[in-house]
Each structure stands twice: as structure tokens, then as C-alpha cells.
Chain A
Amino acid sequence: MLFFIVFIPLVASAALWAMDKDSVAPVRSIALGGTGLCLLFSVFLLFGFESENNGMQFVAGLTWVESLNINLKFGIDGISLWLVILTAFLGVIAVIYSTSQKNDQQREFLALLLALETGILGVFVSLDTISFYVFWELMLIPSYFIIGLWGEGNRIYATTKFVLFTLVGSLLMLVAILALTLEYHTATHEWSFDIDTLSHMHLDDGTQLWMFLCFFLAFAIKVPMFPLHSWLPHAYKSCPIPALILITGAMSKAGAYGMIRFCLPLFPSAIESLALLIGACAAGGMVYGAWIAVMQKDLKSLVAYSSISHLGFIVLGIFSYNSQGVEGSVLQMVNHGIIASALFIIVGIIESKMGTRQLDKLKGMGTPMPVLYGMFMLLALAALGLPGLNGFVGEFLILAGVWTSVTLSDMAAIYVLMGGAAIVFASIYMLYMFQGAMQEKNEDLPKDLEDINCAQFGVLLPACILVVFIGLYPKPFVDRIGPSVDSALHAEKTVNLPSAEDASSHH
């Protein structure tokens, strides 16, 4: 099942390359069919998923390198379940949205987009460190070309920065992955790259610390976390919107996902010693991003900086290191994926209708466009964390987790208050954005300005429904996330290093 989900987009991508360049309609239907099938399969996962089970489900594997026991092993738990569905969902949205726009190289663009989707999905389902790493890098290549070829503004600078940044992180991660396996080999004289197996290994504090830092840097850059975020405003600003849907909605979650999947179970002692510092960066990022967003005039960079703020919440929740906080983070990943991508779509719609996305040149679009007005308002309210909508559920759980966190205890109150400040700023910039674009009277609006069409409505509608549904009834989501988070937080350490083993065998 998972193999289908992951590789259908890649197959579709390959099919697109093989297509005739000028056949527009088949290109569209193949791209849509590929992502649609992928979404269909991933929704089926929901029905087969056992919510009580805290282990990996739908596990499937292929041997890759037998001598080193490297496998292409896939499986999902309650954490990756939602991220897979989210990615598949955003894949469809991105394809629909991009086919509704003019693009001379539609075929190439869609092919890269689909390859990107495979990369992201692979990251979320890989249970083997090497296959995780391969998919991690696979995400990078399509996004490099998408920004570099279809981007706007200073796109080469943006994409080079993005790729170099991420590469530095991922190379560090590769070192740590290899070192981790070597440790395991020393302890057991067997090879394993299996995440689950490795996380049962007891590591001494020093080893944990440097390995943790290698992994963490890779993830923190990908998220990105303050102060490693400098690639994001450039990349987001220049990235075409359909790809941005996947990049902001799904790919930015890969970093946070990695922290939960690797850092939590593997390096508990390192987290205990570094959580305060990381918390400070995360909390600082929440306020920093939000504060800058307040005065942004370009809608795209406004949403970009608001993303930095919201991603800060997610990282802070993870390092609260208790179930509420981490569950809140996972839920918030889904929430942010839905909200931010929908907001970017709206920015795209506004830009295509008005020819600009500068706030000071926009005004009064609400009167001729009541449907967009309503949807934009709902999404802006969700983004600013209005209780009753989904953003609040995540923020509430995260801050509740932080407040009761043991690892952050000394600074918990301060971090929560910083979160509060970020929420206040969020209400300011979101209202600036929404009111600025949609309200007040504007005599200069184009006469033929029409409300959003069916395709645009269809793209935004699912987001609006989910925003309300998760806000009113988060239980089905949290119920599935909970057990997996608990098992990530309480990984049993059964495999000891040789020194400890020797000591015990002497007695």
C-alpha cells in the first residue's frame, strides 16, 4: 500500500517526461490522476489504521543492500499517518491549482512537482535511516529546479541559498546516521539501519550530544527554525505558488517530523540538556517572525514570516517533551499545512486578479468577491488562532505542554508568554492582511473583477472544511497521534553498548 502511495507520483512524473511536449490535456490528466490516486490510497489508510496500536502499521519492505542490512522499509504510525494524508491532499491541490494557471512548460513543472511529492511522502514513511536520507535528498532536487527555473525575482540566489543551506544540514545528518549504525555494530556485531531498532540502543551522553546536534541541525534548517531561517523568505518569495503549496504545506513539516522520529526516541539525555536552549530559539522565532510579519507589505512575505512564527510553535511543542506538547505539534503541522497553503493560494488568486500583491496597492476586494471574502476571513482567523478553529487547538495543546513541561520548567512561563505575544502579533498581521486587501472602499477596482471560479473554490473549500472540522472535533486526530507520540517519548533502551555489556558479563 505505502509503496503505491509513494511511487505513484514518481511513476506519473516519469510518464510526463515521456509525454509529447504539446499535449496539454493528457499532461493534466496524468498529473491529476497520479496525485488523485495517491490521495485515494492514502485516505484508505485511515480505514485500516488501528488507532490504539502505537507501533508501525502497513509495514512493507524491500531489501536494498543485503550485506549491510539496508532496506527500503516503509511503515506509518499515528504521526506519519496524518502527514502522509496531508501531503497527498496538498499534492492534488497543487496540481489543480497549477493547471488552472498559464505555464508554457506545464509538463516539466508538473513532473518536478510530482517528484517532489514522492520525496516528501518517502520521508514520512521511511523506517530505514538510509532510505529516509535518500528521500530527504530527493525532496531537494525538484525544489531546486522549480525555484531556479520558474521562480520570480532573484530566483538563482534564492534557490542556491536554499540548496546549500539544506545540504549542509543533510550531510551532517548522513555522518550521524553512519555513526549511529557503527555504534550499533559495535554493540551487537550486526548491521542495522532500522530506526526502530536503533532507537532501542542506549547511548552515552557525549555521543548523544554530538549526534543529536548533527540530526537537529539538519532538521532545524529544513523547518526552518530561527536563526537558521534565512533561506526561507527568499525561497518562498520566489517560489511559484503551486510548488509553494507542497513546500510550505508538506516539506517544511519534514524537519519537525524528523525531530520527532529521530531526536525524541534516540537522544533523550541530549534533549534534556539542550531543550532550554532550543526552546529559546523556537520561542524567539515565534516572536521574531510574527513581529516582522506585522509590517510586511508583500503578502507572500507576510505569510512567509508568519510561517516562521508558526513553525517556532511546532518546534517548541516538540521540545516540551511531553505528550500534550508533542501531540499539539503534530496536529499543528497538519493545521499549518492546511492554512498556510490555502493562504498562499489566496495570495496567488489576488495577484492574478489584481496584478500585484503589495498590500498598499490593494483595497476593497471584498465587495465584488463575497465568496473569496468569506473564505479568506475564515482562513485568516484560523491562522491567527481563533478558538473554535483548528489553529487554536494546536497552539493550545502546545502551550499547555510547554507550561507543564519538565525539560523547559525554568523558562516555561516565559516561553508561554512569548507564545502569547506571537498570538497577539498574529492577530495584528492577519487582520492587516485580510482587512487591507478585502475591506474599505476602492474606486479603482477593475470593472470586470469576478469572484473566484469553480476550480479556485474547489481548491479552497476542503481547507475551509478541515479548518472548522479539526477545530470543533479534534479527537479523531489526536486519538491516532497520541499512542505513537507516547511511544516516541518513552523508547525503551534495551540494547547496551559493549562497555556496559562487558561489565555485566563479568559478574
Chain B
Amino acid sequence: MFGYGWLVLIAPLLGFLSLSCLGKRIPRSIAGYLGCATVGFAFFISLILLVHLSVLEPEERVGGAQALYTWIDSGQFHLDFAILIDPLSVFMFLIVTGVGFLIHVYSLGYMEHDPEFKRFFAYLNLFIFSMCVLVSAADFFFLIVGWALVGLASYLLIGFWRDKPSAVLAARKAFVMNVIGDVGMLVAAFMIFETFGSLSYQKVFEMAPTMFLANDMNMILITLFLLVGAFAKSAQLPLHTWLPDAMEGPTPVSALIHAATMVTAGVYLVARCHTLFELAPFTMYVIATVGIITATFAGTIAMVQTDIKRVIAYSTMSQLGYMFLAVGLGMFSFGMFHLMTHAFFKALLFLGAGSVIHSLNEEQDIRKMGGLAKAMPVTYITFLIGSLALAGFPLTSGFFSKEAIIMGAYHSEMGNILFWGLAVFTAGMTAFYTFRLFFCVFQGDLRTPDAHPHESPVTMTGPLVILGFFALAAGVLGPWVDSFLSPVFGGHAEHYQDGFLETIAVFVGLGGIMTAGLLYMVRSDKIEPIKEALAPIQEILFHKYYVDEIYDFLIVKPVKAISVFLEDMGEKKGVDFAVDQVGEQVREVSKYVSLWQSGRIRDYAVNMVAGMALVLIFVAFL
């Protein structure tokens, strides 16, 4: 029925293959359009899938696995290469290919002068393909395949400017951290296979509720190992350090992979496997707790960063924390809703930042920016919309999606005042750092005198406008998201109404914006003493709580030292030495043995007699 859904995967794959293998045979002028066209086509097919699903009865919308071929058949282990077309995967298709298409178009302008233009589009297409594999996999095996392939695409794009040592290093860091996550997923897959005898979602999700009660140890372990993968991919504590460094990649990459799509894969995973996670309330609690801690942790860091992309990167981590909080509290469709609105406004902010960086000749330090409002009106307006949405300003898309989560943090079954308090506090910080960034970049005077800022070409501003529209208006889609996804989640998420708490949240958000305005617009002398008093805290935050340094000391250095030690002690002084010693000893012994071989017949005769006597004695007495 949904066989044509394969086209969503095949189009970008063909784009990748032709761009990467045909090399010079594709002229540069066509390469960019080809890259965009494949993703545009995939988006078009996703829209058809959406219409197709919408006309079906709700119960017919789930379970549409489309097998292409049998991948392997080994023992009891049978796997088809299949995709699953259901509301959740189509929902993700739409975000990935839709936002992906806009970012492809944007890249036409952004990467125009890059000598490796073609390679860039090849990698972007590879990413779209991999992400579609991830979200449409019908079993845990191809989930892992997609999971690792997006990691690869992310690695390739972070390290796209391969001449830069920092980019090479950041790419490697991201890859290795993601491999740690992959191994976690792998172990989870083995446990699932052992427990259920299958890796297919359908079978596992059907059997799990009938086999296990809530909080069965088996379920807890499986879900915790899945979480290792989810946290690594979605940059949650303690596997988060790769994401800020990933900003070494070109800005469209940060927008697409490290904001809108790939990093949300962890949230998608929890939503996709909600049947398993619901059987492990303990794990759900872990998810919600890690989510809210990461949200707060990243929010504090974002307040003091000075690199425009790093501020947005930490904000992404923080917003991902909100999404984990939502799914951890069992509000899956709210998590997906925030995932969607976040995809719009965060892609918008990154692309806006890219537009700024582009016009200031790769300048990323917000202390050197300012006053760009006049020079870049479209970027200015759209960035303002994105900032409002991120700050949760009433009636923007971010307001609706975040508010639903914050209310649930208190009112839902597992919710409590602490979750709510931290969520509101983080919302305040979010508003503050977003507008700190906004004011620094667009208001006041330009602090780099010799720069000549200019508005970006229409290939870049066009996507900004479209994303701006969605960032502003996508809030109305909330009820639709909930009802569209309800066949997958087996019910609706409850939307809690609480006027009092809502008011507090709104005012905290507005307070954050006002504070930023006071500090960075008015620049009164009265705040200098406060700034000085907070300097030590700022230092800690600026160094991101020294997590990188701690990891380096606790993990990286010991790993390297042990490697050297093993080679030195294990190999040279251990195994080799032992073996050489055996040889030496044999040679030593043979020296003595060779003394017997004197060459004199008399000696041999004596020895022979002695030997025979020994044998006789031996035989006689035993």
C-alpha cells in the first residue's frame, strides 16, 4: 500500500551516489540543484504519504511495514530490509525532508564560493537518506543502521572543512561519542533479540505488554541501554560534549543536523519505543530527570557564551532536555510537537546566524557584532521571530509547545514541583540568553568598524522567511499533531490547564527578555558591580563547568597512557620477552645437552649402558 514510500529514501540516496561517484562529470552549476531536487522530491512524496494516511481510518494507519528484500537469514535470525510507514515516521519524514529542503536551498547561497561545493551537497543528501532510514526503520537492526549512518553524515559534515585541525578533531569527537551510543543500542538489540526472539518493532511491541509487568528488570535494562544511544545522539548529559564542538561544521549543517533533525533522534527513539518505556517507569523517571537537568545545565552555559553558534548550540541541548522531559513524563505527542516547533525556530536561528556570519566574513564572536538591523532587514525580522519563539513569547509556536510541557511537568502523573520549577527557571534563562544574543547582534552599533554587512541573497533569505512563518504560526498545529500521532501512541496526551502556573511561566519569560534588554540595551553603569560579583560563576559557566577538561583527565589521558603501557609492558617486556626467553633457555639447555655429544664412541657406549640399566631398573620395579 505504501510501497512508493521507498522513494523518500531512494531519491536522496541517488543524489548522494551521483554527486559523490560521478565526480567531474556533473558540472558544478547543476550539482547544487540536483542536491536540492532530490530532497524536494522526497518532501513531495512525504506530503503524498501524509494525505494517504489522513484518508485512512485511524486504526489502519499503523503497522504498514514495506519489505524490500530479505537482508539475512541465519538460524532463528531473520531480517527484512523494510520501512515502516505510519503517522510517526511520516511526521518525521515531513520535518526531515521539509526543513532539509529549505536548508539545501539555503546552502546554495551559503556555500556558493566553497571550492568543495559538490562534496557538501553529496554529504547533505547522504544525511537526508540516513535520517530517513532511521525514522522509517521497521526493526531495531535498521534503526541502528540509520542511527550510525546519520552519525557518519554528521561526522563528514562537521569535518567538512578538513583543512582545519579543530574541525577534524571535533568530527572525531562526535563520531567516537556516537559510537559509544551505538554500542549501547547494539547491546539493547541483543537483549531484545534474546527476550523476544525478534527485532521487528511490530512483534516486540505486541509481545512486551503481555510478557512483562511494569518495572521488570529486563525491561529496565533494555530501555536503559537504548537510552545510552538516545543520550549520545541527542547530546544529553553526560554524553553531550560533542555537540558544541560540532559547530565547527558549516552553519547549514548545524541548522539541519545539530538542531532540527539528527539530534532529535533520541526523542524519536523514546517515542517510537514508548511501549517498552512505559513498561519501565523507572527509566521514564531517569529520562525526565536527565532531560530537565540537561535543560538547566545547558541553559546556564548558554548565558555566557560569546560565539553566536555556541549559544544556539547550548540552547539546542537545553531544548532537547525539554523534549526528553516531555517524553519521560509520558507526554509523547507533546515531545514530538516541541520537536517540530523547535525544528522550525532553531533551524531559523541557525540559518539567521549563518546569514550574519556570512555577511561579516566568518565572524562568530557576538562581542564584535551589533547594529545589523538596518543592514540586514530580512535576517533581522526573521531572527526576531525565531528568538521570540525560542523564548516562548505568547502566541508564537514555541510558546504553545513549551507551555504544554511545563504544565505537564507539574500536573502529569510523575510531574512534581521540582520539575516544574526547573522548567520555568530554564524558560527564563532561555528568554534571557536568546535576547542577549539578539540585542548584541542586531541592536546598538557595529563593533567591527571595517566590516561591511550586507543582506544575503534570496536563496538564503527565502528559506528564512518560510521558516519564520512556521516558527510564528506552527503553534496552531498542536492539536493536529496530537490527533495525527494518537494511533501510534495509543491515545491522546492530556493538555493541562492551570491559569496561575501559566501566568507565572509567561512572566518569567518576559522577565528574561527584559533583563537581557536592561543589561545589553541600556548598558547602565549600575550593573557593573553585579557583573563583577558574578565573575567567578561566569568563569565556570564560560568553561562549560570544565567537563571537557574533566573527561580529558579521567578518560582520554588514561586511555592513551594505558595504550602506551600495554605496548611497552604487555608487548615488549611481556609477551615478546617471554617468548624470546623460551628461545634463550632452550639454547642454554642445548649447550649442556650438546656436551653429551662428545663424538667419542667410548662416551656413547657408557651412556648407552647407563640408559639401558635405567630402563631395566624402571621395568623391574614398576
Contact = CB atoms under 8 A, between A and B. Distances in A.
Interface of A: 161, 164-165, 227, 229-231, 233, 288, 291-292, 294-296, 322-324, 327-328, 364, 366-367, 370, 374, 381, 384, 386-388, 392-393, 396-397, 399-400, 403-404, 416-417, 420-421, 423-424, 427-428, 431-432, 435, 438-441, 473-475, 478-479, 482
A435 B172 contact: yes
Contacts of B69: 473, 475
A400 B190 contact: yes
The 4 closest A-B pairs by CB, nearest first: A420-B183, A323-B75, A403-B190, A295-B563
B152 interface: yes
Given A291-B562, A295-B563, A424-B180, A323 B570 contact: no
B190 A416 contact: yes
Nearest to B23: A370
Contact of B71 (A165, A229, A438, A474): A474
B74 interface: yes
B94 to A, nearest CB: 24
A51 to B, nearest CB: 11
B526 interface: no
Given A295-B563, A431-B172, 9 more contacts: A164-B583, A229-B575, A296-B567, A323-B74, A324-B77, A366-B162, A417-B187, A473-B69, A482-B75
Given A233-B571, A428-B176, A364 B187 contact: no
Given A400-B193, A435-B172, A475 B183 contact: no
A435 B71 contact: no
Contact of A424 (B152, B179, B567): B179
Contacts of A165: 579
Interface of B: 20, 23, 69-75, 77, 141, 144-145, 147-149, 152, 159, 162-165, 168, 171-172, 175-176, 179-180, 182-183, 186-187, 189-191, 193-194, 559-560, 562-564, 566-567, 570-571, 575-576, 578-579, 583
B187 A416 contact: yes
A370 B122 CA distance: 14
A435 B72 contact: no
B74 A388 contact: no
Interface of B (DSSP majority class): helix
A431 B141 CA distance: 24
A165 B578 CA distance: 13
Contact of A230 (B162, B175, B176, B579): B579
Contact of A435 (B144, B159, B564, B566): B159
B563 A294 contact: yes
B175 A431 contact: yes
10 contacts: A292-B571, A295-B563, A367-B163, A400-B77, A420-B187, A423-B182, A427-B176, A439-B168, A475-B71, A478-B74
A328 B190 CA distance: 14
A106 B23 CA distance: 36
A388 B73 contact: no
Most chain B Cβ neighbours within 10 Å, of A327, A428, A473, A479: A428
B567 A292 contact: yes
Contacts of B163: 364, 367, 439-441
A423 B183 contact: yes
Nearest to A477: B72
A211 B141 CA distance: 40
A428 B177 CA distance: 10
Contacts of B73: 475, 478-479, 482
B160 to A, nearest CB: 11
A399 B186 contact: yes
Contacts of A416: 187, 190
Contacts of A475: 69-73
Contacts of B175: 427, 431
A292 B159 contact: no
In this complex, the member of A161, A388, A441, A478 whose beta carbon has the largest number of chain B beta carbons within 10 angstroms is A388
Contacts of B77: 324, 397, 400
Nearest to B567: A292
Contact of A387 (B144, B193, B559): B144
A367 B579 CA distance: 44
A386 B186 CA distance: 12
B560 A294 contact: yes
A432 B168 CA distance: 10
A291 B563 contact: yes
Contacts of B172: 428, 431-432, 435
A423 B179 contact: yes
Contacts of A399: 186, 190
A397 B76 CA distance: 12
Contacts of A423: 179, 182-183, 186
Given A381-B152, A420-B187, A479-B73, A440 B566 contact: no
B566 A288 contact: yes
A165 B562 CA distance: 27
A377 to B, nearest CB: 9
A288 B148 contact: no
B586 to A, nearest CB: 10
Contacts of A161: 579
Contacts of B566: 288, 291-292
A233 B564 CA distance: 15
A374 B20 contact: yes
A478 B78 CA distance: 11
B104 to A, nearest CB: 22
A404 B179 contact: no
A225 to B, nearest CB: 12
Contacts of B189: 400
B145 A388 contact: yes
Contact of A440 (B148, B162, B560, B570): B162
B570 A322 contact: no
A397 B20 contact: no
Contacts of B152: 381, 386
Contacts of B575: 227, 229-230
A322 B575 CA distance: 32
A439 B152 CA distance: 16
Contact of B559 (A294, A386, A479): A294
Contacts of A386: 148-149, 152
A295 B190 contact: no
Given A161-B579, A230-B571, A400-B190, A482 B74 contact: yes
B71 A473 contact: yes
A479 B144 CA distance: 23
B560 A295 contact: yes
A50 to B, nearest CB: 16
A153 to B, nearest CB: 14
Contacts of B579: 161, 165, 230-231
Given A416-B190, A440-B168, A441-B163, A427 B74 contact: no
Contact of A388 (B148, B560, B571): B148
Given A386-B152, A475-B70, A295 B159 contact: no
B186 A327 contact: no
A428 B186 CA distance: 18
A374 B20 CA distance: 9
Contact of B74 (A384, A397, A420): A397
Find the residue from B75, B168, B579 having the highest chain A CB count within 10 A. B75
B144 A427 contact: no
Contacts of A295: 560, 563-564, 567
A364 B165 CA distance: 10
Contacts of A230: 571, 575-576, 578-579
B562 to A, nearest CB: 6
Given A291-B563, A474-B71, A388 B149 contact: yes
